[in-house]
Amino acid sequence: MAGSDRCPRFGRFERTGVRARIAIAVTDEAMGRIDTVAAACGEAGFEHEATLGEAGLLTGTACFRDLPRLQAIPGVLAVELAQRRLRHPRIHHA
């Protein structure tokens, strides 16, 4: 994507224009070429941050509008929104 069509890293809260933190699961057959799958995902708008090779996962960010294109890449098993960690307040007993 180029110019104004590019999704901002952190922009307005529009479902198609906001980057989401995602995890991409790679098929067993594509494990040996996970770097090639990561590069193809990058061409489709994925900003790759880390590879968890033994688990077959790529992590990074992408626009919501790019998720269907990422899912269609050969070697991609699933594209999931990354879970946020919930922080629970400490309870103080009197």
| pLDDT bracket for residue 14 (50, 70, 90) | very low
63-85, pLDDT tens digit by residue? 989 999 999 999 999 999 986 65
> What is the CB neighbour count within 10 angstroms for residue 58?
26
Residues 75, 27: contact at Cβ < 8 Å?
yes
pLDDT tens readout for residues 27-53: 999 999 999 999 999 999 999 999 998
All structural domains of the chain, each given as residue ranges with its CATH number in brackets, are 18-81 (3.30.70.80)
* Residue 47: partners with Cβ closer than 8 Å, 6 or more residues away: 9, 19, 60, 61, 62
